[in-house]
Structure 1
Amino acid sequence: MRHVSAYSLMGVSLFALMAPAQAMAQEAAPQQAEATVEEDAGEPVIIVQARRRDEDVQDVPSVINAVTAAEIQNLNLRDFTEVKTLAPGLELNTNANGIGGNARMRGVNFDTNASGNNATVEFYYNDAPISAGVILQQMYDIGQIEVQRGPQGTLRGRASPSGSITITTRKPDLNEFGGFIDATANDIGTLNFKGGLNLPIIEGIAAIRVAGLWDENEADRVRPTTNAVDGRDPFSRTKSGRISALIEPTDWIRLEGSYQYMDRDLRSYDQVESFSVVNPAAPPTTDLLIRAKDRLAIQSDSRLVNQRFDIYNWRAEFSGFGQRLIYQGQHSEQKLHSVEPQDPAVVFPGRSVAQTTDSNAVGESHEIRLQNEERVFDIFDYVIGYFDNTLDSPTDLTRPTAVRLPLVFGGGLASVVQTPISRRGGSHEKSFFGNLTAHIGEATEVSGGLRQIKYKDSSQLIVGGRLLTDNSMDDDKLIYNASIKHNFSPDFLVYASTGSSWRPGLDIVGDFSVAQSALEQSFLHLPPESSKSYEIGFKSTLFDKRMRFNLTAYHQKFENFPYRVPGSGVYFVNTTPTATGPVQNVASFNFVGAVPVEVNGVEGELSYDVTDSWNVGLFASYSLGKIKNGTIPCNDLNNDGVPDPTGPAPTLAQLQAAVGADNLSACVVNQRASFLPPFSATLQSEYDMPISGKLDGFLRGLLSYNGKSQGDPTNDFDDVGDYALLNLFAGVRDPDGQWEVTLFAKNVFNTEKVLTRTTPLFTSYQQITGFTPTGATTTPATTTSSYTGITMTPPQEFGLNFRFAFGSR
């Protein structure tokens, strides 16, 4: 029934928006002002909720990138990962297997399939914490996005060392009927439709808002070669609907709630490039020569992912006597089914060797807090509260082991032995928090906060019916945050802040060997991470509020930061249970080492309204994180303590000779802690021009620059040179904002840059060596291909966007 009602919801909202008679009868109204944008002396002021109360972004003593609804619309941002183009130093991506996503910021890299963990950057949906995988999808009807940098946790949700990203959906308007429809099409197979409808039920007291999305595209446009089983093109389809309700029966009660569903189907292929293209010493490929610009894959079958998300979000606010009591709750369900090819070297062309994964994650959070509306003794602002969060994510998968016929019989696929693997249990986090801000005179402010965290985890990993690991955890920690700021004038302030953060130890999922060594387990079950940060900066408004110039410098030190090995990971001796007994082979996995890291960085913003019709904004970030004498998993076949350079996969005998009973190697290193470029910047500009009394024209541009970056320090072929992506927009619109037509081009110069590169792809399997009366005898074998796995910049696209709105938008 939920499927039917949700689809009906989206259909009703879009149908109502397209009803021409009703739309034309509605008088053109000025565009609804965002709740987050106000006017100060005629100039727009962005209002944020970074400290749990409305403030001008220029008054908050921290770095915040606020992405407004207007920017999302004007720059045709459809997928949430595109938000990174407006926040230099931020990287957003999703895992290819559909499980989760990642945000990286401020010089550290976090890319771990782990259980019950806090992320480096936390996400919040309407003020409640939510996993990145739910958010990093197609987006629609968004009010504002706030990217806040630096340690978080004494004011909001969960502790996170690098920052937080809050997403606020549009709220119902209690007084005015209205809505919008937005449609985008481009030349590379994208069709995107979204719309919203605002319905006052009792004017001034109750209203609902419905919104919907339908998007179809060709994912990353990587297509298979003729070796593919199905030979079909990549494909992604997303359907989503949301209903929100708001009730304000009196001036001291505010009740709101929303339900959102999203369903996504994806068929994709893993892109490859011939290793000889970048490594002249590599043997020339005897197969098809593939370059990055070809956007091709060699795998035999496609990667299939289906995701279903259901989010229930609710909030109650009660105010009186100058105080406000707020309760925020959320319940979310994430269902995943994926099929992942497990034959990267295509040893068995035309045959399917795949892993299936089914997961059903259920999360729930509750937060109650009390804060002042009127300053206490005309000096103090405070927030105190309690937070409770649970996550249960049972997962079942089957890990295949391919058995190959002898070459004399053709060397084809004899059978696939599937090993069942299950994860059970979940996490529970509780915390008390408080923050106090003292306003000393008109110019000085001192603020400080604490959070006491209590964290439990009860997850278990079961392989082949056998309990492999019991990751029970019970830990607690007190974290803090403090800042001071001083306004030398209404247009110039300086601030300094310090803060700590803590995250529970991670349990890394992906190594399912039933004979793990102590060293191996040390890279799978990590101790808690802690960090301390120090920041100093200033914010200024110049030239009669036409210019903003902000600059911040920071230093952050981590203990036990979870550094995940990049690329194809580390070779290790894997033991798999089968019906005839355990078998061993060479496998690779991105193990994680708990290492000390130091980060130093600078972030700046310079924006200027050149004229009333022309504005320019420049945002830049430099952040360099380095591991300091940290022990990480590595490939070290010659046992010299230094990670080996990139090369083909070893045989089982070679690997066992190098690692012995440890199953893998470890090295002490001093190297970068992030794969991101240390320097990145964004340049944004818009020029408006009146064409007639009823028509305005505009030109917009967005240039995203990424400096040089390193991937795996042992891989000489995965470093990335600097590059820039330019997006341009031109169009016409109604002066009152009722409609707009935009022609756009993204990646105008068709920049094709390889961003990540693995070691040469390989497939491990069991080779039949003979037959006995009781069955076949096998030995471990590995075949390495002449290709490496890559990812690259998004494809060039040219498109058209149309938007029509009426009444309350």
Structure 2
Amino acid sequence: MKAIISSYLACACVAALAAPTQAMAQQTPPAAPAAQADANEDLASTSDIIVQARRRDERLQDVPAVVNAVTAADIAKLNIRNFTEVQNLVPGLQLSTLPNGTGANAQLRGVNFDINASGNNPTVEFYLDDAPITAGVILQQVYDIGQVEVLRGPQGTLRGRASPSGSITVTTKKPDLNSIGGYVQATANDIGTQNLQGAVNVDVIPGIAAIRVAGLYNVGDANRVRSLDRSYDARDPHTRTASGRVSAIVQPVDWLRLEGMYERFDNNYRNFDQYESYSQANPAAPATTDPLITADARLSNRARPNVVSQLYDIYNGRAELSFAGQQLIYQGQHYTQKIRSAVSQDTANLFPGTDTYQNTSSNISSTSHELRLQNQERVLGIFDYVLGAFDNKNTTPTTLNSPTIVRLPLLFGGGVAALVQTPVARNGRSHEQSFFGNVTAHIGNSTQFSGGLRHISYKDVGNLVVGGNVVLNDSREEKKWIYSASVQHNFTPEIMVYASTGSSFRPGISAIGDFNIASSALERSFINLPAESSKSYEVGLKSTLFDHRAHFNISGYHQTFSNFVYRAPGNGVYYINTVAVRDAQGNVTGTSQQVANFNFVAAVPAEVNGVEGELSVDVTHRFSIGIVASYALGKIKGGTIPCTDLNKDGVPDAVTSAPTLAQLQAATGANNISACKVTQRSSFLPPFSATIQSEYSHPISDHVDAYLRGLLTFNGQSQGDPTNAFDQVGSYGLLNLFTGIRDPRGMWEINLYAKNILNTDKVLTRTTPNSTSYQQLGFGGFGPNGPILTGPTAANTTSSYTTITTTPNREFGVNMVFRFGSH
């Protein structure tokens, strides 16, 4: 592995890797003509980075926090088409979407998050044009983005909702009141992707009103995983995305500014979960006659694909009123999600000829309002302040069917005798209200003290209806104060140190997925959790060196959690599930127990310690180099979690196949499930990660520059589920290279690129062997009317395959951008 990493680093040097993430945060000025560029080669080229981390424009180097920022120019330069690729620029950040299309995850600073466990209140909040929005809407194809800011550490006293690990703000490009402009960008590659996007800006009334229209169309081969068995669905994986956005600004007078935006996003895809033969990870796995599947084959043993459609409508509005050196701002947003998915529940592919889809339908809506007052001119020459109120309502109605297969005796072929569908409905409503304030005192030119408070009032009402019966009524009301405080001191204009502390809060949650009609008290305790709270302490140094040619920043933090939301990983925990038995007319004729698994949750104590740093240098006007790194080690300390514990020793078992019903009954008794006390990592992410970026350009003529840029992303070793001995991930790196020509003024660019050029093929996650649960009929002989079938009894078949995820495919492509006017 060391030899491989050394090779990566050598390639990185040759490719001039390492333009600083920080320097990417603001679009640099257009390059000077060649002669002037040569004359100015020794002048600093790094511009100040402007962010809105504290709800007002500030230089990044002046903010007492760790912020990573990326603009539209950076997204274009690195050909970032899906928002999840932003994680390649921000070490310690992981972005992912769920296979069923119902949500997405963001993980940062050493703790896991799963939207199925606590979707309304994530550890990392997202904001679109200053209003909160779910990750599932953001982690899609991106286009016409102005800036992305990743704010690390507890958030909430200044912005929207409390989040313990950080916030990610996404700002779309705004209309320009004073010019006409736009761009067209096209990408095509060797793995089936065709991406076309663009925008047009028109100053309808110069200086007063403008409109911007942007659009995206993308088609591709989805995850490029195909099925071994193409007799039931011979189509290849496919994805199609179409989106459009209209935004407008009206500023009739200097003291009034109105903004509005509408976006529709339509995404449809069909894919298979990626499989691998278990023997590839576990040499001791039993021999099998099943076809061998390796990770690089990108194959699935499922006969039927996942089919997902997503439709998002977003309405965003803003009004700014300025008076007497103050500013009153209203920010509102309403968005809806219509998500339809069909995911096969026959993960072992035992019944390929039967449609065992779980069909899910979600019609989610969210509305937020924020009103805040803040200064434009410093009060008494000392104070900056922000005061405001926030209101957010969410409704999350979701319906699905839970299929149960009833299997014929093996004597009669072992086919499907019946497929019993149990309807499930989840209805939830949440309402969060808060008021907040933050004050910063500037003591002289060198020292600042800042403090903020937010009072949160949260209400949540929901129920779960299974087969027409209400199995869960959940209602909670919680109130909480959170705080933040910081002090910073500039020893010189170029060197600043800071110390900060803050708290955070997430309401208690109810995990959905256990549809047991006879759940136990212990089982319910692993579904309904109390509120989570956390405290964080951070110190840091920010410096600007060599006449603004370089930046060096470093920070360290310590964070503790009470009632941190732990969610069982992989295939989850095995438990006893009671289901209704129905006749052909759908009438309930009794109940039956079966072995089932679910990713139950638990409230546990946790602690995270970490260090984050970056170093960036503009070596010359045309060559920059830098590195950003993150180390975060989070641990659950003495937490009680749901587990599979067949020998009842209080330690989670490492299981490689589903237990029998009798084994589970003996281990759990009337509890249906086991509990274990553990001390283990709170995150499956690698503790250490880093990115290196760079660009070198050279003039060909007064009108054309050539360039070479690169990105190396390195991830250290990570530990997965402690009960799965075969899901550990060794260290690896991904190298992307870009080369091409461009107009020095930025009006056009043509580049060839290669992502994962070294074709690194690493398994990132691996479940235990897939299994299918069903109800087995027995044979009781022959009667006067034919065979006598007995039962059914619970049964489970484990396959010789596991579900995996891997690093992205190697990708070669071409990208072309043409801009005009203000673009």
TM-score category of the 2 structures, normalised to the smaller one:
over 0.9
Aligned to 1:745: 754
Please give the alpha-carbon distance, in whole angstroms, between the structure 2 residues aligned to 1:351 and 1:706.
41
CA 1:290/1:755 → structure 2, altered by over 3 Å: closer, same or farther? same
Aligned to 1:777: 791
User: Is 2:185 the counterpart of 1:182?
Assistant: yes
Aligned to 2:521: 518
Please give the alpha-carbon distance, in whole angstroms, between the structure 1 residues aligned to 2:710 and 2:498.
32
SS in 2 for 1:777: strand
Aligned to 1:787: 801
Q: How far 1:115 sits from its partner (Å)?
A: 5.9
Q: Is the 8 A contact 1:117 1:503 kept in 2?
A: no
Aligned to 1:322: 325
Q: How far 1:778 sits from its partner (Å)?
A: 1.2
CA 1:801/1:42 → structure 2, altered by over 3 Å: closer, same or farther? closer
Amino acid at match of 2:646: L
Amino acid at match of 1:447: S
Q: Which protein, 1 or 2, shows the higher relative CO under an 8 Å CA cutoff with sep ≥ 6?
A: 2
Q: How far 1:798 sits from its partner (Å)?
A: 0.2
Aligned to 2:672: 663
SS in 1 for 2:799: strand
Please give the alpha-carbon distance, in whole angstroms, between the structure 2 residues aligned to 1:74 and 1:433.
39
Aligned residues between the structures? 777
Aligned to 2:505: 502
TM-superposition CA deviations, 1:702-725 (whole Å, max 9, x none): 000000001101211000000000
Aligned to 1:28: none
User: Is 2:152 the counterpart of 1:149?
Assistant: yes
User: Is 2:569 the counterpart of 1:566?
Assistant: yes
Amino acid at match of 1:299: R
Q: How far 1:43 sits from its partner (Å)?
A: 3.6
TM-superposition CA deviations, 1:506-563 (whole Å, max 9, x none): 1101111111111111111000000000000000000111010000000000000001
User: Is 2:632 the counterpart of 1:602?
Assistant: no
Aligned to 1:298: 301
Aligned to 1:592: 601
Aligned to 2:249: 246
Q: Is the 8 A contact 2:27 2:73 kept in 1?
A: no
Amino acid at match of 1:739: W
Q: Is the 8 A contact 1:636 1:642 kept in 2?
A: yes
User: Is 2:202 the counterpart of 1:199?
Assistant: yes
Aligned to 2:479: 476
- Aligned with 2:398 (options 395, 410, 431): 395
User: Is 2:634 the counterpart of 1:625?
Assistant: yes
Aligned to 1:6: none
What stretches of structure 1 of length at least 5 have no aligned partner? 1-32
- Aligned with 1:541 (options 530, 535, 544): 544
Q: How far 1:76 sits from its partner (Å)?
A: 0.2
Aligned to 1:614: 623
User: Is 2:685 the counterpart of 1:682?
Assistant: no
Please give the alpha-carbon distance, in whole angstroms, between the structure 2 residues aligned to 1:405 and 1:135.
46
Please give the alpha-carbon distance, in whole angstroms, between the structure 2 residues aligned to 1:111 and 1:542.
41
Aligned to 1:278: 281
- Aligned with 1:797 (options 811, 814, 820): 811
Q: Is the 8 A contact 1:636 1:665 kept in 2?
A: yes
Q: Is the 8 A contact 1:770 1:778 kept in 2?
A: no
Amino acid at match of 1:158: R
User: Is 2:53 the counterpart of 1:50?
Assistant: yes
User: Is 2:816 the counterpart of 1:807?
Assistant: no
Q: How far 1:34 sits from its partner (Å)?
A: 12
SS in 2 for 1:692: coil
TM-superposition CA deviations, 1:109-150 (whole Å, max 9, x none): 011314663100000000000000000000100000000000
SS in 1 for 2:61: helix
CA 1:362/1:535 → structure 2, altered by over 3 Å: closer, same or farther? same
Please give the alpha-carbon distance, in whole angstroms, between the structure 2 residues aligned to 1:658 and 1:34.
56
Q: How far 1:776 sits from its partner (Å)?
A: 5.8
Q: How far 1:231 sits from its partner (Å)?
A: 2.3
Aligned to 1:15: none
User: Is 2:121 the counterpart of 1:122?
Assistant: no
Aligned to 2:67: 64
SS in 2 for 1:631: strand
- Aligned with 2:468 (options 465, 469, 480): 465
Q: How far 1:213 sits from its partner (Å)?
A: 0.3
SS in 1 for 2:377: coil
Q: Is the 8 A contact 1:116 1:426 kept in 2?
A: no
User: Is 2:141 the counterpart of 1:138?
Assistant: yes
Mean Cα deviation higher: 762-771 or 76-85: 762-771
Please give the alpha-carbon distance, in whole angstroms, between the structure 2 residues aligned to 1:728 and 1:329.
41
User: Is 2:715 the counterpart of 1:701?
Assistant: no
Q: TM-score, normalised by structure 1?
A: 0.95
CA 1:554/1:167 → structure 2, altered by over 3 Å: closer, same or farther? same
Mean Cα deviation higher: 405-414 or 128-137: 405-414
User: Is 2:437 the counterpart of 1:434?
Assistant: yes
What stretches of structure 2 of length at least 5 have no aligned partner? 1-22, 30-42, 583-588
Aligned to 1:409: 412
Aligned to 1:354: 357
Please give the alpha-carbon distance, in whole angstroms, between the structure 2 residues aligned to 1:207 and 1:620.
41
Q: How far 1:35 sits from its partner (Å)?
A: 11
SS in 2 for 1:45: coil
Amino acid at match of 1:221: R
Please give the alpha-carbon distance, in whole angstroms, between the structure 1 residues aligned to 2:556 and 2:513.
37
Please give the alpha-carbon distance, in whole angstroms, between the structure 1 residues aligned to 2:676 and 2:478.
29
SS in 1 for 2:794: strand
User: Is 2:720 the counterpart of 1:711?
Assistant: yes
CA 1:228/1:515 → structure 2, altered by over 3 Å: closer, same or farther? farther
Q: Is the 8 A contact 1:257 1:315 kept in 2?
A: yes
**Cα RMSD, aligned residues only:** 1.5
User: Is 2:114 the counterpart of 1:111?
Assistant: yes
Please give the alpha-carbon distance, in whole angstroms, between the structure 1 residues aligned to 2:473 and 2:765.
34
Q: How far 1:292 sits from its partner (Å)?
A: 0.5
User: Is 2:221 the counterpart of 1:218?
Assistant: yes
Please give the alpha-carbon distance, in whole angstroms, between the structure 2 residues aligned to 1:805 and 1:98.
34
SS in 2 for 1:448: strand
- Aligned with 2:494 (options 484, 491, 496): 491
User: Is 2:212 the counterpart of 1:209?
Assistant: yes
Q: Is the 8 A contact 2:117 2:601 kept in 1?
A: no
Q: Is the 8 A contact 1:227 1:349 kept in 2?
A: no
Mean Cα deviation higher: 278-287 or 210-219: 278-287
CA 1:228/1:746 → structure 2, altered by over 3 Å: closer, same or farther? farther
Aligned to 1:761: 770
Runs of at least 4 residues off by over 4 Å: 33-42, 771-776
SS in 2 for 1:719: coil
Please give the alpha-carbon distance, in whole angstroms, between the structure 2 residues aligned to 1:766 and 1:592.
27
Aligned to 1:19: none
Mean Cα deviation higher: 645-654 or 96-105: 645-654
Q: Is the 8 A contact 2:44 2:549 kept in 1?
A: no
SS in 1 for 2:724: coil
CA 1:339/1:709 → structure 2, altered by over 3 Å: closer, same or farther? same
Q: How many percent identity over aligned positions?
A: 63
Amino acid at match of 1:587: A
Please give the alpha-carbon distance, in whole angstroms, between the structure 2 residues aligned to 1:775 and 1:131.
50
Q: Is the 8 A contact 1:122 1:158 kept in 2?
A: yes
User: Is 2:429 the counterpart of 1:420?
Assistant: no
Please give the alpha-carbon distance, in whole angstroms, between the structure 1 residues aligned to 2:596 and 2:695.
51
Please give the residue correspondences for 1:644-663 in structure 2 after superposition, counting only pairs within 5 Å: 644-663=653-672
Mean Cα deviation higher: 41-50 or 482-491: 41-50
Q: How far 1:226 sits from its partner (Å)?
A: 2.0
Amino acid at match of 2:807: T
Q: How far 1:777 sits from its partner (Å)?
A: 3.2
SS in 2 for 1:581: strand
